Chain A
Amino acid sequence: AQTVTQSQPEMSVQEAETVTLSCTYDTSENNYYLFWYKQPPSRQMILVIRQEAYKQQNATENRFSVNFQKAAKSFSLKISDSQLGDTAMYFCAFMKHDNNAGNMLTFGGGTRLMVKP
């Protein structure tokens, strides 16, 4: 079974600054995906970024980038130029790569990020 751990229950950052959210995971799988989801007060789960484990290059989506360290089983999210709209819960999630089974997500407990003006 996989486990995902987010060790920072809450974080805050000043608007326009950079913040990094931590995530570690435990798995015996070699092929998998890692995700960061954002959940604003509206409760909608929004996919922020996805990383395939077989890719060495870190995924980037505009102001969001990841630092994927496969050997260390670490997957941190960096938010650059933080904006007030980034205030939300952020969830790290793991998904085993298996074409023949349901690709279920295993989630961490979340980090609540507050962006301050």
Chain B
Amino acid sequence: DAGITQSPRHKVTETGTPVTLRCHQTENHRYMYWYRQDPGHGLRLIHYSYGVKDTDKGEVSDGYSVSRSKTEDFLLTLESATSSQTSVYFCAAGPKQFFGPGTRLTVL
């Protein structure tokens, strides 16, 4: 797991509320990634970061924003959660893309 943790591990929220997911790594990796996993789609890239304050969009970035103020932390924010954002979210880090344990998010 290369020292990658995610918080929270589970969250239930209501439509329209803001949600922030946190990814923390201890290996000083430059690159970090956020993916979402939905049935039939495998994992799809939301956003990634190539350094502090350096981020870019992935395949399914609409409705999400990210921030990276420190090397070890990569935050994913849903400004106004929708039911279509119910999913399992995975963070990954490093050139070998070690994954965190995932966060199950349910938007009611």
Which A residues have a C-beta under 8 Å from some C-beta of B?
4, 35, 37, 42-45, 47, 50, 91, 93, 95, 101-110
Contact = CB atoms under 8 A, between A and B. Distances in A.
Interface residues of B, number: 25
30 contacts: A35-B97, A37-B99, A43-B88, A43-B101, A43-B102, A44-B99, A44-B101, A44-B102, A45-B90, A45-B92, A47-B98, A91-B42, A91-B43, A95-B97, A101-B50, A102-B56, A103-B31, A103-B95, A103-B97, A104-B45, A104-B48, A104-B58, A105-B43, A105-B45, A105-B92, A106-B45, A107-B44, A108-B42, A109-B40, A109-B42
B50 A102 contact: yes
Nearest to A45: B99
A50 B102 contact: no
